[in-house]
């Protein structure tokens, strides 16, 4: 055999051995589980918690590599869950109801907005809206097909008003008709659009007021954190870690290793509050005591926790001193371990 | 021609539906993601008349928009057919207008002109116009040497005759382009309705999307498709008729 031929065979043999070894070797274990979390809407103030959880490494500390993906009008987290493009998502209550009605295997993990932040903005200098009947004869903006249409129709029905008494005008994201007063009562999300619209009008010397449906008997929840039934059935541990990362740490004192319900005088006094759904549990709507008005662990209407408000009874001198110390200590430190205390201290201050 | 268009559309629509239902079955998807055949049928029965009115509303705007864009494209095409400074200036200006994506301009148009008929018309015409312009400039810039030569050497070639010769010799191409642009005009109108208008099938599709109701969207697609097929078939018939009349004349 020619030496060059022998060399070629040797080289080929070694290459095959290396390839076989490479294929046989176990793949390096991925350090973190990759997840996609589809938000309901674009990144804005209402998604601050999700962004903080990602940026501050709450997910990675739970062994999850979560891609927080912005939502939008054409995005539907529930569809993405079912098609496997996302493992977690945020969906509005009307979406969840429709999906469940059509047999979608969706599970609500937590209710972010206990009260829908959807309200109607108007200029109180022009008129005031004290009751639903004050809407009579006025042009009210609604997004046809959106939950504001449902809410407005429900409001009108509760007041015994019909379509002819209120002119419903179709609106989009262009606020020109509101600025021009063509549609003087405009639907906004109080926590986002409501803020910048109010600022804009204020800069123009105009005051604004909000017509809140929940004050007139129409209480409708909004965004929920959802996942698929399959995730809950087969990857419960991942679901737990995800919710712990998203809520446990953001809730601060209810997170692992932090001051929890056992320290809460309300929960000590009333053991049934210990099951409160404030740290959300999979597959359950937060319909227990914690959602009742007045309960200290009742999540704030826009996701802020009422429990974060200075032990529920206003800042005592001791607490004020503690807060001063705490804020000083965490001024340059990470938020992760102290978010709840920091928030509550900031609120107290 | 007409029946061929309708048959082609029905075939494509049924194939598309079959693919969706197949996916639904294979992946065990719920009715929320892909509705079942009965769901689509029920929605079709419930929404047919309302959606038909919406489609006709959109169609009317699309036809007017298409006529407008044909007019614009022919004007620019005829003016820009010569390799002169003015011709190239017209061409460059016409191309530059198209450089801005219409979806970016549309919200500004809606703010300035409101969400009524005019805005939808302008957007439909703008979306439809550019492909038409490209074809018409191509056709009008290319001399039909065999025929034009005779008129040129006899000194009888005026611009009207030149345009007529080039149009006649490329009538098949023109008919295809104009029939094809009907789809663009319809798409343009639907896009504008989807973005901001408060009428038409694009607006209804948006509401259906809000309600995550794919059945309604499938019904809307059927009505849009069938209307366009009929319209395109008719345009082709008209094109054939015009050619016959010109040839006879």
Pairing between β-strand A88-91 and β-strand A33-38 as defined by DSSP bridges? parallel
A168 DSSP β-pair partners: A140
A12 and A160 in a single domain? The answer is no
A103 and A247 in a single domain? The answer is yes
* Number of domains observed in the structure of chain A: 2
Is it the case that residue A279 has pLDDT exceeding 50?
no
Distance from C-alpha of B132 to C-alpha of B68, rounded to nearest angstrom: 11
A131-155: average pLDDT: 91
- Could you tell me the residue range of the domain that residue A179 belongs to? 118-216
Query: What's the N-to-C CA distance of chain B in angstroms?
Result: 24
A47-55: average pLDDT: 87
A122 and A66 in a single domain? The answer is no
Best residue in B112, B196, B207, B212 to probe A by mutation, most A CBs within 10 Å? B212
Distance from C-alpha of A135 to C-alpha of A143, rounded to nearest angstrom: 17
User: Which residues in chain A belong to E strands, given as ranges?
Assistant: 33-38, 64-69, 88-91, 106-111, 118-122, 139-142, 167-170, 186-189, 209-211, 224-228
Question: In chain B, what is the greatest distance between 2 CA atoms, to the nearest angstrom?
Answer: 75
Q: Which of B33, B203, B206 sits opposite A79 (nearest CB)?
A: B33
Distance from CA of B29 to the nearest CA of A (A): 7
Residue A337 lies in a domain: no
Verify whether the Cβ–Cβ distance A145 to B212 is below 8 Å.
Answer: no
pLDDT, tens digit, for every residue of B101-112?
A: 777 777 788 778
Distance from C-alpha of B97 to C-alpha of B65, rounded to nearest angstrom: 17
Distances, alpha carbon A301 to alpha carbons A35, A117, A190, A214, in Å: 28, 8, 11, 11
B29 contacts on A by Cβ (under 8 Å) = 82-83
Q: Name every residue in B having a CB less than 8 A away from some CB of A.
A: 27, 29-33, 35, 107, 110-111, 115, 196, 198, 203, 206-213
A91 DSSP β-pair partners: A224
Contact A90, A225 (CB under 8 A): yes
Distance from C-alpha of B159 to C-alpha of B171, rounded to nearest angstrom: 18
A208 and A247 in a single domain? The answer is no
A83 contacts on B by Cβ (under 8 Å) = 27, 29, 33
The tokens of A31 are what?
A: 């350090």
CATH number at residue A123: 3.40.190.10
- Could you tell me the residue range of the domain that residue B69 belongs to? 2-29+36-248
Lowest mean pLDDT across A75-89, A328-342, B54-68, B174-188: A328-342
pLDDT, tens digit, for every residue of A300-309?
A: 333 333 333 3
Q: At what angle do helices B37-79 and B117-141 cross, to 10 degrees?
A: 50
A71 and A142 in a single domain? The answer is no
Is it the case that residue A26 has pLDDT exceeding 70?
no
Confidence of residue A290 (pLDDT cuts 50, 70, 90): very low
Verify whether the Cβ–Cβ distance A98 to B198 is below 8 Å.
Answer: no
Decide if A145 touches B, using CB distance below 8 A: yes
Residue B151 is predicted with a pLDDT of 83
Residue B225 is predicted with a pLDDT of 94
B176-187: average pLDDT: 87
A256-282: average pLDDT: 41
Decide if A174 touches B, using CB distance below 8 A: yes
B58 DSSP β-pair partners: none
Confidence of residue A11 (pLDDT cuts 50, 70, 90): low
A111 and A19 in a single domain? The answer is yes
Contact B104, B185 (CB under 8 A): no
A99 and A37 in a single domain? The answer is yes
| Long-range pairs of B151-159 with CB within 8 A, sequence gap ≥ 24 | B159/B78
A40 and A109 in a single domain? The answer is yes
The tokens of B48 are what?
A: 């047919």
Confidence of residue A128 (pLDDT cuts 50, 70, 90): very high
Residue A340 lies in a domain: no
A268 and A210 in a single domain? The answer is no
Q: At what angle do helices B171-195 and B201-210 cross, to 10 degrees?
A: 50
Residue B133 is predicted with a pLDDT of 84
Residue A249 lies in a domain: yes
B63-78: average pLDDT: 88
Residue A38 is predicted with a pLDDT of 94
Is it the case that residue A144 has pLDDT exceeding 80?
yes
Distance from C-alpha of B229 to C-alpha of A270, rounded to nearest angstrom: 70
Residue A322 lies in a domain: no
A183 and A212 in a single domain? The answer is yes
Q: Which of A79, A104, A174 sits opposite B196 (nearest CB)?
A: A174
Q: In what order do the strands lie in the sheet with A106-111?
A: A64-69, A33-38, A88-91, A224-228, A106-111
Q: Identify the top-confidence range among B48-62, B116-130, B178-192.
A: B48-62
Residue A12 is predicted with a pLDDT of 62
Is it the case that residue B245 has pLDDT exceeding 90?
no
The tokens of A119 are what?
A: 């309200």
Residue B132 is predicted with a pLDDT of 86
Residue A6 lies in a domain: yes
A46-53: average pLDDT: 86
The tokens of B76 are what?
A: 């620019």
Confidence of residue B62 (pLDDT cuts 50, 70, 90): very high
A149 and A94 in a single domain? The answer is no
Contact A264, A252 (CB under 8 A): no
The dihedral formed by the CA atoms of A128, A130, A135 and A139, expressed in degrees to the nearest 10 = 40
Decide if A41 touches B, using CB distance below 8 A: no
Q: How many CA atoms lie within 13 A of B35 on its CB side?
A: 18
Q: At what angle do helices B117-141 and B85-98 cross, to 10 degrees?
A: 140
Domain boundary among A157, A183, A216: A216
Can you tell me whether residue A84 is helix, strand or coil? coil
pLDDT, tens digit, for every residue of A209-247?
A: 999 999 999 988 888 999 999 999 999 999 999 998 988
Residue A313 lies in a domain: no
Residue A140 is predicted with a pLDDT of 95
The dihedral formed by the CA atoms of A74, A78, A81 and A82, expressed in degrees to the nearest 10 = -100
Distance from C-alpha of A168 to C-alpha of B54, rounded to nearest angstrom: 19
Q: How many CA atoms lie within 13 A of B154 on its CB side?
A: 7
A24 vs A170, higher pLDDT: A170
Confidence of residue A29 (pLDDT cuts 50, 70, 90): very low
Q: What is the ipTM of this complex?
A: 0.71
Distance from CA of B22 to the nearest CA of A (A): 14
CB pairs under 8 A between A and B: 55
Q: What is the mean pLDDT of chain A?
A: 73
Residue A6 is predicted with a pLDDT of 61
User: Which residues in B89-175 belong to E strands, given as ranges?
Assistant: none
Distance from C-alpha of A226 to C-alpha of A107, rounded to nearest angstrom: 6
Distance from C-alpha of A178 to C-alpha of A312, rounded to nearest angstrom: 39
- Backbone Cα Rg of chain A: 26
Contact A91, A226 (CB under 8 A): yes
A146 contacts on B by Cβ (under 8 Å) = 210
* Number of domains observed in the structure of chain B: 1
Verify whether the Cβ–Cβ distance B210 to A73 is below 8 Å.
Answer: yes
Lowest mean pLDDT across A213-217, A239-243, B30-34, B153-157: B153-157
Confidence of residue A284 (pLDDT cuts 50, 70, 90): very low
Q: What is the mean pLDDT of chain B?
A: 86
The helix or strand, by DSSP H or E, that contains position B124, with its residue range, turns out to be: helix B117-141
Residue A319 lies in a domain: no
Residue A3 is predicted with a pLDDT of 53
> Which residue from B minimizes the CA distance to A74?
B209
Residue A318 lies in a domain: no
Is it the case that residue A333 has pLDDT exceeding 50?
no
Domain boundary among A172, A199, A216: A216
Residue A48 is predicted with a pLDDT of 85
Is it the case that residue B32 has pLDDT exceeding 50?
yes
B143-155: average pLDDT: 82
The tokens of A251 are what?
A: 């809730």
A124 and A78 in a single domain? The answer is no
pTM: 0.69
């Amino acid at each position: 055999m020619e030496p060059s031929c022998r060399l070629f065979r040797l080289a080929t043999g070694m290459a095959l051995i290396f390839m076989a070894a490479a294929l046989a070797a176990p793949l390096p274990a991925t350090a973190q589980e990759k997840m996609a979390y589809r938000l309901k809407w674009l990144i804005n103030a209402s998604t601050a918690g999700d962004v903080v959880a990602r940026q501050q490494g709450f997910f990675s500390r739970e062994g999850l590599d979560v891609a927080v993906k912005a939502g939008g009008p054409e995005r539907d987290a529930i569809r993405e869950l079912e098609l496997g493009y996302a493992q977690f998502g945020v969906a509005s209550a009307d979406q969840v109801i429709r999906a469940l009605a059509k047999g979608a295997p969706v599970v609500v993990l937590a209710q972010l907005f206990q009260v829908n932040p959807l309200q109607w903005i108007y200029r109180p200098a022009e008129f005031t809206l004290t009751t639903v009947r004050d809407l009579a004869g006025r042009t009210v903006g609604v997004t046809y097909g959106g939950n504001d249409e449902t809410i407005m129709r429900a409001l009108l029905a509760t007041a015994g008003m019909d379509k002819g008494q209120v002119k419903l005008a179709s609106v989009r994201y262009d606020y020109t008709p509101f600025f021009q007063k063509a549609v003087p009562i405009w639907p906004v999300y109080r926590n986002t659009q409501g803020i910048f619209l109010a600022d804009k009008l204020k800069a123009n010397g105009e005051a604004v007021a909000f017509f809140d449906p929940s004050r007139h008997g129409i209480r409708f929840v909004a965004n929920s954190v959802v996942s698929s039934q399959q995730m809950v059935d087969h990857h419960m541990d991942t679901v737990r870690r995800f919710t712990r990362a998203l809520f446990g740490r953001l809730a601060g004192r209810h997170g692992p290793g932090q001051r929890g319900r056992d320290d809460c005088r309300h929960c000590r006094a009333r053991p049934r509050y210990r099951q409160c759904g404030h740290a959300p549990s999979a597959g359950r709507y937060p319909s227990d005591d914690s959602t009742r008005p007045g309960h200290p662990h009742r999540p704030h209407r826009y996701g802020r926790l009422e429990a974060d408000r200075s032990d529920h009874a206003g800042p005592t001198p001791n607490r004020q001193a503690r807060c001063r110390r705490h804020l000083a200590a965490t001024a340059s430190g990470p938020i992760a371990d102290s978010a709840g205390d920091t928030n509550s201290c900031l609120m107290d201050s | 021609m007409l029946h061929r268009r309708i048959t082609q559309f029905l075939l494509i629509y049924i194939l598309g539906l079959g693919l969706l239902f197949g996916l639904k079955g294979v992946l065990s998807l719920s009715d929320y993601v892909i509705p079942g055949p009965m769901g689509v049928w029920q929605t079709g029965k419930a929404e047919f008349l309302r959606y038909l009115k919406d489609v006709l509303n959109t169609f009317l705007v699309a036809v007017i928009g298409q006529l407008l864009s044909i007019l614009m494209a022919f004007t620019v095409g005829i003016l820009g057919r010569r390799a002169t400074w003015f011709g190239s200036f017209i061409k460059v200006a016409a191309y530059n207008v198209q450089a801005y994506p219409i979806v970016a301009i549309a919200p500004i148009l809606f703010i300035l002109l409101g969400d009524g008929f005019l805005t939808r018309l302008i957007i439909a015409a703008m979306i439809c116009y550019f492909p038409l312009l490209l074809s018409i400039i191509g056709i009008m810039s290319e001399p039909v040497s065999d025929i034009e030569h005779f008129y040129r050497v006899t000194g009888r070639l005026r611009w009207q005759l030149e345009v007529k010769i080039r149009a006649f010799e490329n009538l098949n191409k023109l008919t295809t382009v104009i029939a094809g642009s009907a789809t663009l005009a319809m798409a343009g109108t639907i896009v504008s309705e989807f973005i901001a208008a408060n009428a038409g099938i694009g607006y209804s599709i948006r509401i259906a999307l809000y309600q995550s109701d794919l059945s309604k969207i499938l019904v809307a697609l059927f009505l849009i498709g069938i209307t366009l097929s009929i319209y395109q078939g008719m345009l082709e018939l008209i094109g054939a008729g015009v050619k016959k009349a010109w040839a006879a004349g």
